[in-house]
Each structure stands twice: as C-alpha cells, then as structure tokens.
Chain A
C-alpha cells in the first residue's frame, strides 16, 4: 500500500503557482520523497525527488517539512500542459526498489 496521502483533485489557474500537498507521516529516515506525473495516455514522468532539503529543478520545486512528515510540490507557473495526475511516492534508496503508486492528485489547469 502507498505510504502517502494526497487530495484527489485540485484546480489551478493558468500562470499561477500550483502547490500540491502530500502527507507521509510514516516515512523512515532513509526514505526519499519522489514525485511523478502522468499526463493522459502517457507513461509516468519523473519530476523531482528529495530526502530532507528543499530541491529545485527546471520543472518544479520540492519543499519538505523539517519533520519530513509532509511535502509540497510547486509548479511555479502552471500551464495547460501541466494538467495531469501527480503522484507522491516514498521510496528507500537501498537497492532499486519498485515504486508504489497511490491514487495521486488530479491537477486541472484552467485557462
């Protein structure tokens, strides 16, 4: 079972920041937080991952709380092409463990 909890859906106006929350209160010390998204009919796309420090790349920023029990994925300027299901996944880094997907958050970016 997924170790994360996400809201089932969110709306965001085009051009505004999209902030997607994730709860992972049972995360272990050696587990990372990963974010993927799945645009309709495509394969999941890796976005970003982090352990405890905030991370930023060309796609998004990841903010992890100090107690690591929750995190927020930020898309700074959402576009219509960001409409997708976003998955928050907790995963250990010992070896190459499979990903456990929950139901994710369906983000709708509205013009």
Chain B
C-alpha cells in the first residue's frame, strides 16, 4: 500500500483505557487523513491534517478523540476512555502537498475494546 505504515496492526484495550494509533505517511507526503471503518460498514472520514495543523476535523467525534501530526514523527490518533463502540478498523492515508493527488492508504489498526 504505497508505503504508509500504521502501527500497531492490532490493539486491544479495556473500557476506559486510552488507545494511541500511529501513522507514518509515505516519505515526502505532508498530508495525512484518518478514516474509520466500523464492522460491516464503509469507511468514514474523521480528520485531515498537515504538518502541525488540523485542516478538517468535521468527521471526528467531539469528545475523547484527538489527532496530531507533529513536525517530526508520525501522526497520532488518540482515543481516551475507550468504549465498546470504538471497536473498528482505523485507516490512515497520505498524499503530497500538490492538490488533487491520490491518497495512499495503510493497512490499518484494528482496535478491539473488551
């Protein structure tokens, strides 16, 4: 999948714990997107970030969820006080700065809440 690396691939958390999902974009890509796929459903956009800036977070739940893409290091999607409904596959995609380029996806992190 064109070099987007996500880790961990699988993450198990108990209700109330925090989950941190990491995404390293394709080398040279400065735009990162997070999507969520609930079981048996399609992918839904959550948040779009550029380096050190959140551009669009219209798809992100208002509480417990946050995302960052620091100047150095991977993008992080953080879910605080996880609940059973957070169980899903979380996919990260990246694209270069030039507009209109295809997004390339990682293989996702599968989050399971016990």
Contact = CB atoms under 8 A, between A and B. Distances in A.
A46 B44 contact: no
Contacts of B106: 43
Given A49-B102, A96-B48, A43 B91 contact: yes
A101 B91 CA distance: 13
Counting contact residues on chain B (CB < 8 A from A), the size range is 20 to 34
Contacts of B108: 42-43
B48 A98 contact: yes
- If over half of A's interface residues share one DSSP class (helix, strand or loop), that class is named, otherwise mixed; here it is loop
A100 B107 contact: no
B99 A96 contact: yes
A9 to B, nearest CB: 14
A103 B48 contact: no
Nearest to B104: A46
Given A42-B1, A46-B2, A98-B33, A104 B104 contact: no
A52 B68 CA distance: 37
Nearest to B47: A98
B100 interface: yes
A45 B102 contact: no
Interface string A91-111: 001111011111110000000
A52 B52 CA distance: 36
Interface of B: 1-2, 4, 31, 33, 35, 42-45, 48, 56, 59, 91, 93, 95, 97, 99-108
